[in-house]
Structure formats: structure tokens, C-alpha cells
Amino acid sequence: MKPDAIRIVLCRPQHPGNIGSAARAMKTMGLADLRLVAPEKYPAPEAQWMATNAQDVLANSRTHPDVASAIQDCVAAFALSARTREWELEVLDPRAAAARALSADGPVAFVFGNEQAGLTNDEVLACQYLVQIPANPEFTSLNLAQAVQVVAYELFMAAGPEAPRGKRGKMATVQDLEGLYAHLEQAAIGSGFLDPESNSRLRTRWRRLFSRTELEREEVNILRGLLKALQAPKSK
């Protein structure tokens, strides 16, 4: 499922700063479809301030009068609530809910209640699943934007993102590595560290050592430059 099929629905949010923070949480995890159900104070500058470069998520958000209209075209809706409910909705943790959502054939919604009272019974009943975020049993209430961040993160991870990697230089070729090995052997023999007539496994050992790394060409050049400097005759 593509990220644009995931919808975040905030029901009756009271603080516009939380709307902006939720938009930021969404954008960091690749989500963009934000729906607001009867927000108390929106639009508001506080939302823009807290969005921090996620103003496009706010600009493209849609406002609805009730939760039913916000999720009417979804094939599944997940209600977030820390409170135990009397009826039997399937209860999932965020990780299981993310996996279920990504396997759905159509748009899905994650529905969050307001900061003070959470979701109403009717809002929960409009959904098919109840999601509870594991937390300290003596204090289970998360800030609205924090709860959105937890769910957005689990959705991002369930989609199988690649781990971020730093920028790499040009990789060393086999020829580069063979040149390094030859230089190591020359330096080892010249220093007396390696007897060329012995049955030492040193040559095999350094090949094994460097085979466990992904050397860049510049790194090979650094090593060879160090060897060359060590081999240079010392000036008196």
C-alpha cells in the first residue's frame, strides 16, 4: 500500500499546536493525508509554527463535521484509545495495526480523539479496530501528536524502509585491493615482520580482515600512503 492510502484523522482537536505537531510527525514518516474533525481552533498560527516545514500537510488537510464523513471511503478504520471499552472490537497494538493496515486493499484511517477526553463511544464504534499503545499502566495517556508519531513510525517500519546510509565514495576495485595486499606484503617483509620463506598465514589473515569491510578507493589510498611513509628512510 502506498503512503497516500493512509489517513490520519484528528477528532475535535483542541490545541492548534498539536495539529501542527501531528502534521510534522506525519511528514517525517512519509504520510500526507490529514483530516480534521470539527477542530476547535483552526486555522491558527500555532499550527503553522509547530508544523516546522510540514506546512504542506496542513495546507492539504481537509476538515469534516464528523468522523463518519472523514472515513466513509475507507475500507478499514483504527480507533486509538487508552481506555478499555465494553464492546468487543479487536484490540491491536500499533505494530500489529500497521501490518493490518498495509495489507488492506484500499484507503485506511487511524482515528485519534481530542486531548482532554479522547474518542467518544460513537467515534470508536465507527471504526473496526481498537488500537492501544503499550505504556506505563499508571499513566497511559500520550500527547496527541506523540500518539500520531508512534503510529506513523510503525507504519513506516511496516512498509520496510531501507536503513539510512551515509554518502559513500567510489568503492575499491579488486585491482585496488590486490595492490594493497602486495604493498602490505612488501612492508611486512621489509620490516622483518614477515619471513617470505615461512608458512605464515599472515597473507590469508589480512585478506580475511579486509574482506569483512567495504573499503572505498580513498581508504585504500590512505592505507597505502601510510605504508609508504613508514617505509621511507628516516632522515638524520
Q: Are residues 57 and 133 in the same domain?
A: yes
Q: Are residues 95 and 206 in the same domain?
A: no
Residues 102 and 76 in one domain: yes
Whether 50 and 152 have beta carbons less than 8 Å apart is answered as no
- Number of domains composing the chain: 2
Domain assignment of residue 236, yes or no: no
Q: What is the pLDDT of residue 87?
A: 61
Contact indicator for 39, 61 with CB cutoff of 8 Å: no
Residues 109 and 208 in one domain: no
Q: 152 and 119, same structural domain?
A: yes
Is 164 among the domain residues? no
| pLDDT per position as a tens digit, 186-213 | 999 999 999 988 888 999 999 999 888 8
Same domain, 64 and 122: yes
13 and 52 share one domain? yes
Q: Of 128, 158, 188, which residue sits at a domain end?
A: 158
Is it the case that residue 236 has pLDDT exceeding 70? no
Residue 105's domain comprises 3-158
Q: Do 143 and 42 lie in a common domain?
A: yes
- For the cut 70, the answer to whether the pLDDT of residue 147 exceeds it is yes
Burial 11-22 (b: 16+ CB within 10 A, else e): bbbebbbbbbbb
Mean pLDDT of 169-181: 90
Q: pLDDT, tens digit, for every residue of 82-97?
A: 876 666 678 899 999 9
Is the confidence at residue 163, as pLDDT, over 70?
no
How many angstroms separate the Cα of 190 from the Cα of each of 187, 223, 230, 235? 5, 17, 11, 18
Tell me the average pLDDT across 30-44.
96
Is residue 165 domain-resident?
no
Cross-strand pairs, 216:
171
Which pTM value belongs to this model? 0.72
Cβ atoms of 82 and 135 closer than 8 Å:
yes
Residue 168 lies in a domain: no
Show which of 108, 128, 158 is a domain's final residue.
158
pLDDT of 235 > 70? The answer is no
